[in-house]
Amino acid sequence: MPVHSRAPGRVLIFDTTLRDGEQSPGATMTLEEKIEIAALLDEMGVDIIEAGFPIASDGDFEAVSLIAGNTRNAIICGLARANENDISRCWEAVRSAARPRIHTFIGTSPIHRRYQVQLDRDQMAERIHDTVTFARNLCEDVQWSPMDATRTEEDYLCRVCEIAIGAGATTINIPDTVGYTVPRESAGIIAMLRERVPGMDAITLATHCHNDLGMATANALLAVEAGARQIECTVNGLGERAGNTALEEVVMALRVRNDVMPFTTGIDTRKIVNISRRVAAVSGFPVQYNKAIVGKNAFAHESGIHQDGMLKHSGTFEIMRPADVGLCESHLVMGKHSGRAALRNKLAELGYDLGDNQLNDVFVRFKSLADKKKEVFDDDLVALMQDTSASGLEYLRIEALQVTCGTVSPQAKAELALSIDRDVRTVTAHGDGPVDAAFNAVRALYDHDARLELYQVSAVTAGTDAQATVSVRLEENGLIATGQSSDTDTVVASTKAYLHALNRLRVRRYQQAGIQASGPAELS
């Protein structure tokens, strides 16, 4: 059944976290992480997953191909520029999917026509006809996008949309590529196209908004009210510059305000928080505390008036229940006396389904954490799971770390025993503070040219015994890798995050060279 054959009020959710989201500087994900995120999106009920840009690299091609072959429900889409090489490569990547889609695009605004693609109007119109026709001859489901549509002349936008529909496009997507439009204008463009373009009622009309002016969610929702029936979005609003429309925001807005926006999606909203946390962890982009829906403070109440109202009835100051997005009602539940069964149950509540071997590994780490902390909170367990997922990349691994710092000595000192492909080496290094000393010790034992682009520390919970979650981003010869780790010792967490990023950078170098990494860091 064609994707546009749906109930009139059904809005399709097109997730581009793995493509547009991953284009955020520093947000590059490993192959395993992409496959994991795709599986979570599919399980959550996303209709279309844009899995990547197959022509961009062999790694992108492999990721799209594997996601296409393993995804059970969602349409798997790849992106392609308006040329036959891109489109052919895209088709090769998605063709094994149960429901493949080719998404091809070209910049249609005056500034894009003149400076980026250097085609006049007629040349571009011919290119659109030929490339959409070529894509449709390969795949029954073809999406076409006039990049920078919101800055394209209305008459020309109508012309090229009509050409694309005539050539076989089944979805026309209207991108606000630079986040330029405003809600009323966003709705107006959709309404104008529906009125003026022949055949528009037979295909799916989509909206793709960026958040440069902070209006992506509003622009997407107004486009839906005007007739768009597909929203392109990303988890946590991840994306280039200020990001994309946030999946969690549009989905929950349509659910909570269904009285004024009578539209539905197929998203299981109880899975939102889990995938938000996972995307934040693998991308290295933490969610701001006051972020709508998934921020740490989204359901927190400090004002006395608010707390009084919440005690009397939660509806006084909450328009949705925490459980609606997958947040547990309980907070303090675990301690050093908790057993495997209790841990498994609590992790299941948090969205983690573990096999016996995984549970045993996590249980050891949990007991170690519980010995350090009197009280283990939900957020501690989430951090523990994120740290556990990073432990699979262990070409470099801490064996022992001792740091001396304070006001007595002019420099901090770090004594490090580092396992490098199971060969343990030791060194003493100094630095301007304990973290700098520890990083210098790593560099002394494992020489590299990676430049530190980001170092960020956040407390997982309150209290002086709280775990610190540290994110580190490294860049080396154009390759970017992010590492993350948590520990009650901030210096240990920092060093582990640094090593995690170095391990990922090493794997990425091998992937770029087209060979398999050897040793403990080997990826399946």
Question: pLDDT value at position 242?
Answer: 93
Specify the DSSP class assigned to residue 2.
-
Name 446's Cβ contacts closer than 8 Å, sequence gap at least 6. Answer: 396, 418, 420, 502
Q: What tens digit of pLDDT does each residue of 226-255 get? A: 999 999 999 999 998 999 999 999 999 999
| Burial label, 83 (beta-carbon count in 10 A; 0-12, 13-18, 19+) | middle
Question: pLDDT value at position 37?
Answer: 95
Q: Give how far Cα 184 sits from Cα of 7, 69, 119, 219, 225, Å.
A: 25, 41, 30, 8, 11
pTM: 0.80
Q: What tens digit of pLDDT does each residue of 415-463 get? A: 999 999 999 999 999 999 999 999 999 999 999 999 998 898 887 776 7
Q: Given pLDDT bands bounded at 50, 70 and 90, which one contains residue 125?
A: very high
List the beta bridge partners of residue 137.
Answer: none
Question: pLDDT value at position 161?
Answer: 98
Q: How far apart are CA 493 and CA 236, in angstroms?
A: 24
Question: pLDDT value at position 504?
Answer: 86
Q: Given pLDDT bands bounded at 50, 70 and 90, which one contains residue 284?
A: confident
Q: Determine how many CB atoms are found less than 10 A away from the CB of residue 357.
A: 8
Task: Flag whether pLDDT at 308 surpasses 60.
Answer: no
Closest by Cα among 294, 235, 281, 236 to 485? 281
Q: At what angle do helices 490-513 and 58-70 cross, to 10 degrees?
A: 100
For 317-341, what is the mean pLDDT? 71
Low-confidence winner among 36-50, 161-175, 310-324, 344-358 (lowest mean pLDDT): 310-324
Question: pLDDT value at position 478?
Answer: 82
Task: Please answer whether residues 172 and 200 qualify as being in contact, where contact means their C-beta atoms are separated by less than 8 angstroms.
Answer: yes
Q: What tens digit of pLDDT does each residue of 49-106 get? A: 999 999 998 889 999 999 999 999 999 999 999 999 999 999 999 999 999 999 999 9
Task: Please answer whether residues 464 and 449 qualify as being in contact, where contact means their C-beta atoms are separated by less than 8 angstroms.
Answer: no
Q: How far apart are CA 233 and CA 474, in angstroms?
A: 27
H-type alpha helices, 236-353: 247-256, 272-283, 304-312, 340-349
Q: Determine how many CB atoms are found less than 10 A away from the CB of residue 361.
A: 13
Task: Flag whether pLDDT at 310 surpasses 70.
Answer: no
Residue 69 sits at the vertex; the CA angle it makes with 12 and 91, to the nearest 5 degrees, is 75
Q: How far apart are CA 396 and CA 408, in angstroms?
A: 32
Question: pLDDT value at position 33?
Answer: 87
Q: How far apart are CA 48 and CA 485, in angstroms?
A: 32
How far apart, in Å, do the first and last CA atoms of the chain sit?
35
